């Protein structure tokens, strides 16, 4: 809730400067520092949104009932339009057309009429099981009817047949039902009690007649006192502000003049509309007597009004003749109204203190930093010097060496290994033998020469016995068929066996040299 401050006004613009010249000790603050303009705009906008119009409906909040409940009605939406009121722009204001449903009389609106207390259907012979309840009911009915008749000043004996006739007549005659309800609750007037007494007397004299005949007599007798139906209520123009979607407000009828501004837009068939009226409205005037508040003329500007809403505004304002009369009266009000001007510059005092307290102080720091648009450079990791601990000197002196934290050395960037032949250094050929050599180097024997050779086992060395390992057939020395076609390009070792395979991709098992020294060691 915003705090309202009474702002000083004067007869003409700049009147505070003239008073400051007469008193040189008064120092006026600037317009922005005085905060009068800001506070006046806030207060006027809040008044338009909360109290300028009479409230039509409000939503219930916090489990409490609604503040205002509208009567039964039908509502038609015309869309949302921008409304300009002086310096304020109320965007997306919704306009509705509300038609009220005519209410039926009180007796018929109540639904089924309530019979006389204790009254029931036609009496019948009670049985032994329910004789007592019906007896008490008939006694209560007779006492209630007796009280009603005694209050009417009618000396008539209440019988069950009379109660049945009264109930039947109330079912077909809503006027009699309403009179019975008001008489039972003590709210009936003298004329209504007199009418009810005449009806009951007519029923008592016609106990043997038909019930329909009695109802016709009762309706004919009550037509003289029946109130005429109220005239239908005119429709209202209801608005809803975007800033307060939970409340709807009535735009009251009064001295209203509607006129179009400029030409119609040919594409959308819309035009701007000016609505001139007088404030305050009768139901929203502040004070004990609305006539104490002088009327003022205000103009609402609606942007891009549709043809449908324009037709509704013409019907709502009363037509061309009515608007001509209202225009003359609005001109008379404008001539009588004297304009007031705010004091935009204030000296030091209580009013300036109130304005400074009412205005919320916001942070002046910008949301976006000054260097937000610059590209931020990556920060390099600081290079730390490695520390060396001298433990020998500390051990020699007998002192406990202090443990120093050794900084981890920055790992050097490891590059992926280069995939190429280890002999010819070619990179565009497939590699074999564990990804080391290409096919050409293997076929030419360069790869075998580059592989280190292990001495082979001697031919005369004993092999493993039955208890040991036997050579696998796959590793047995077999004569190669490629020996004659692909001769070796390097000489075999002197101790190698002549039966070793000479396939370039085959690495033979070298013979184990004889042990040195005496046997048994």
Determine the pLDDT at residue 440: 87
- How many Cβ atoms from other residues are within 10 Å of residue 79's Cβ? 14
Determine the pLDDT at residue 297: 93
Report which of residues 443 and 288 the model is more confident about: 443
Determine the pLDDT at residue 431: 87
Whole-number percent of the chain with pLDDT over 70:
59
Using DSSP's 3-state secondary structure scheme, residue 312 falls into helix
With bands split at pLDDT 50, 70 and 90, how would you rate the model's confidence at 44?
very high
Determine the pLDDT at residue 446: 82
First to last CA, the chain: 109
Using the predicted structure, report yes or no on whether residue 472 has a pLDDT greater than 60: no
Helical ranges in 265-318 per DSSP H? 307-317
The structure tokens 């015309």 sit at: 78
The structure tokens 């048994």 sit at: 520
Determine the pLDDT at residue 4: 83
Determine the pLDDT at residue 224: 46
Question: What average pLDDT does range 29-34 have in this prediction?
Answer: 90
DSSP string, 411-464: PPPPPPPP---TTT--SSS-EETTTTEEHHHHHTTHHHHHSPPPPPPPTTS---
Determine the pLDDT at residue 262: 85
Task: Indicate the range of 211-225, 305-319, 452-466, 472-486 predicted with least confidence.
Answer: 472-486
Determine the pLDDT at residue 389: 53
Claim: this prediction has a pTM higher than 0.85? no
Using the predicted structure, report yes or no on whether residue 240 has a pLDDT greater than 90: yes
Using the predicted structure, report yes or no on whether residue 247 has a pLDDT greater than 60: yes
Using the predicted structure, report yes or no on whether residue 102 has a pLDDT greater than 80: yes
Using the predicted structure, report yes or no on whether residue 243 has a pLDDT greater than 90: yes
Task: Indicate the range of 172-181, 215-224, 430-439 predicted with least confidence.
Answer: 215-224
Using the predicted structure, report yes or no on whether residue 435 has a pLDDT greater than 90: no
Parse the chain into domains and list their residue ranges.
Answer: 9-100+237-336, 113-119+137-222
With bands split at pLDDT 50, 70 and 90, how would you rate the model's confidence at 272?
very high
Question: What average pLDDT does range 99-117 have in this prediction?
Answer: 55
Report which of residues 518 and 254 the model is more confident about: 254
Q: Is 467 exposed, middle or buried (0-12, 13-18, 19+ CB in 10 A)?
A: exposed
* Dist CA 451 CA 506 (whole Å): 11
Determine the pLDDT at residue 11: 87
Determine the pLDDT at residue 130: 41
Question: What average pLDDT does range 76-104 have in this prediction?
Answer: 93
Of 137-146, 186-195, 245-254, 478-487, which one has max mean pLDDT? 245-254
């Amino acid at each position: 809730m915003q705090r309202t401050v009474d702002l000083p006004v004067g007869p003409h613009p700049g009147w505070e400067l003239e008073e400051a010249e007469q008193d040189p000790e008064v120092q006026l603050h600037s317009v922005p520092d005085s905060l009068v303009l800001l506070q006046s705009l806030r207060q006027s906008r809040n008044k338009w949104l909360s109290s300028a119009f009479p409230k039509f409906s409000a939503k219930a909040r916090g489990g409490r009932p609604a503040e205002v409940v509208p009567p039964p009605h039908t509502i038609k939406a015309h869309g949302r339009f921008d409304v300009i009121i002086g310096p304020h722009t109320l965007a997306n204001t919704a306009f509705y057309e509300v038609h009220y449903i005519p209410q039926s009389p009180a007796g018929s609106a109540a639904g089924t009429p309530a019979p006389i207390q204790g009254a029931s259907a036609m009496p019948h012979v009670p049985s032994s099981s329910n004789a007592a309840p019906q007896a008490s009911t008939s006694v209560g009915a007779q006492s209630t009817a007796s009280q009603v008749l005694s209050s009417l000043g009618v000396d008539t004996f209440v019988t069950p047949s009379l109660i049945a006739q009264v109930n039947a007549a109330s079912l077909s005659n809503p006027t009699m039902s309403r009179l019975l309800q008001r008489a039972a609750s003590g709210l009936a007037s003298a004329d209504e009690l007199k009418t009810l007494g005449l009806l009951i007397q007519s029923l008592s004299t016609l106990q043997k007649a038909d019930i329909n005949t009695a109802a016709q007599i009762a309706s004919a007798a009550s037509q003289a006192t029946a109130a005429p139906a109220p005239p239908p209520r005119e429709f209202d123009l209801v608005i809803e502000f975007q800033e307060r979607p939970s409340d709807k407000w009535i735009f009251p009828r009064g001295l209203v003049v509607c006129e179009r501004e400029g030409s119609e837009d040919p594409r959308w068939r819309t035009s701007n509309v000016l609505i001139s009226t007088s404030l305050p409205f009768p139901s929203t005037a502040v004070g004990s007597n609305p006539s104490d508040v002088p009327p003022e003329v205000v103009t609402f500007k609606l942007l891009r009004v549709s043809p449908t809403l324009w037709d509704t505004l013409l019907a709502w304002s009363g037509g061309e003749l009515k608007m001509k009369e209202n225009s003359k009266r609005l001109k008379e009000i404008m001539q009588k109204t004297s304009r007031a001007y705010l004091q935009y510059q204030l000296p030091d005092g209580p009013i300036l203190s109130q304005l400074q307290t009412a205005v919320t102080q916001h942070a002046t720091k910008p949301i976006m930093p000054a260097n937000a648009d610059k590209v931020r450079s990556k920060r390099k990791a600081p290079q730390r010097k490695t520390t060396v601990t001298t433990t020998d000197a500390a051990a020699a002196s007998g002192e406990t060496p202090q443990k120093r934290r050794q900084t981890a050395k920055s790992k050097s960037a490891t590059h992926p290994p280069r995939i190429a032949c280890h002999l010819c250094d070619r990179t565009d050929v497939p590699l074999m033998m564990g990804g080391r050599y290409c096919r050409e180097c293997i076929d030419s024997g360069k790869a075998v020469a580059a592989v280190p050779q292990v001495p082979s086992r001697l031919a005369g060395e004993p092999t493993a016995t039955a208890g040991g390992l036997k050579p696998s057939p796959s590793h047995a020395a077999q004569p190669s068929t490629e020996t004659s076609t692909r001769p070796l390009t390097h000489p075999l070792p002197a101790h190698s066996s002549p039966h070793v395979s000479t396939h370039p991709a085959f690495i033979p098992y070298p013979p184990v040299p004889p042990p040195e020294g005496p046997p048994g060691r």
